[in-house]
Structure 1
């Protein structure tokens, strides 16, 4: 296990579900992060899929001490730097590029990059990465595919994301090569827009009860 993997795992702190969040209004970032943390999900991934994302990361990172704020959907070195400067404590990408690897090598902020195929996973392994995002999980073969990888590439572990919800999360968490899962079901868009922080806290509390087998 690399030092950056250890750092990333310490930030996630055994959390079974990492909320994957899309924020369209930065003012929602603080109450949303607080609701998730109250429910037991301190580590969150705010995706760079909206114009409000970087400001949302800044606010959550600065104002919610109990939260561990990460940035997701990072596609290049520029976004890596912007998200790090905004206060992200970890960076998540749907894939791996040489540019991203270079940015991560020069930064104290750990990278969780995505890989799907055995070739991509082996390339990441050669680059010293042994904890990867598996995305889009359901569309790429789901838990059965990851189970098949657990023997030939036994020293690489995953955070599968994509198509995962309360009903199938345990299919992944029961696998020996899965550390946690990522999912948006704990902070649905409609509940965020409605400001239903109590409802989101309740969903987070249920998700936090999921555990590795």
Structure 2
């Protein structure tokens, strides 16, 4: 999978984490139906590997499908076995190394310049600034792009629609969005509300502004 190309093309990674595996699966499928091309299922959710496996069967072999919260080599191997074709980590560690050995592209979690260099040495395709809001928001992204002007950064953590527009304007390749997009859908909540939020975020990545702030 060309993760870097997909991040540049689609600019949004939806992060699904829930306590209801059936609802989590429905959430994944609803996001894809609405046009979200990159979906990550966090391994911290209940029965996440089963959700990934079922989503892979439903989506077919060609749809991008990621596993998130990959911390260890065992996590990476399990995600690969379940059908994930990219992984997302919250930090630089054994999960990155094992995923690359398996041929899986990695969006690696970083906070500092030292983290960035470590992730690149391990072969990460893109860099997840996490937690982005606590790191300093769009201003911190701009600061990182000074010494690292050409690197693909993906802010994650506290990214609502307004913040997503600000990060993209600051030079983010894409944004990763969890609860501001997913809400309670992965726990059995309203899928129609999820569809509405999805359209809002897709407007942001296409136009650079939330729909309510854009032209009529």
Coarse TM-score class (shorter-chain normalised): 0.7 to 0.9
Which residue of 2 is the match for residue 180 of structure 1?
Answer: 174
Q: 1:130 to 1:123 in 2, by over 3 A?
A: same
Q: CA deviation at 1:23?
A: 2.2
The Cα offsets for residues 147-198 of structure 1, whole Å up to 9 and x where unpaired, read as: 011121112221110011112111101122x111111222112x33344222
What 5-or-longer segments of structure 2 have no aligned partner? 209-216
Checking the alignment, whether the CA contact within 8 Å between 2:20 and 2:188 is kept in structure 1 is no
Residue 91 (structure 2) aligned to one of 85, 92, 95: 95
Checking the alignment, whether the CA contact within 8 Å between 1:69 and 1:89 is kept in structure 2 is yes
Residue 49 (structure 1) aligned to one of 41, 44, 50: 44
Checking the alignment, whether the CA contact within 8 Å between 1:33 and 1:64 is kept in structure 2 is no
What 5-or-longer segments of structure 1 have no aligned partner? none
Q: Hey, what's the Cα distance between the residues in 1 that align with 2:104 and 2:123?
A: 15
Q: Considering fraction of residues, name the structure with more helix.
A: 2
Q: Hey, what's the Cα distance between the residues in 1 that align with 2:124 and 2:49?
A: 26
Q: Hey, what's the Cα distance between the residues in 2 that align with 1:130 and 1:73?
A: 16
Q: Within 5 Å, which residues of 2 pair with 1:111-150?
A: 111-129=106-124, 131-150=126-145
- Following TM superposition, the consecutive aligned residue runs of length 4 or more in structure 1 with deviations greater than 6 angstroms are none
Residue 80 (structure 1) aligned to one of 76, 81, 84: 76
Q: Within 5 Å, which residues of 2 pair with 1:7-86?
A: 7-12=2-7, 14-65=9-60, 67-86=63-82
Local SS of the residue matching 2:55: helix
Q: CA deviation at 1:122?
A: 2.0
Residue 158 (structure 1) aligned to one of 125, 130, 153: 153
Q: CA deviation at 1:138?
A: 0.4
Residue 190 (structure 2) aligned to one of 187, 193, 196: 196
Q: 1:59 to 1:13 in 2, by over 3 A?
A: farther
- How many pairs are equivalent? 205
Q: Hey, what's the Cα distance between the residues in 1 that align with 2:188 and 2:23?
A: 10
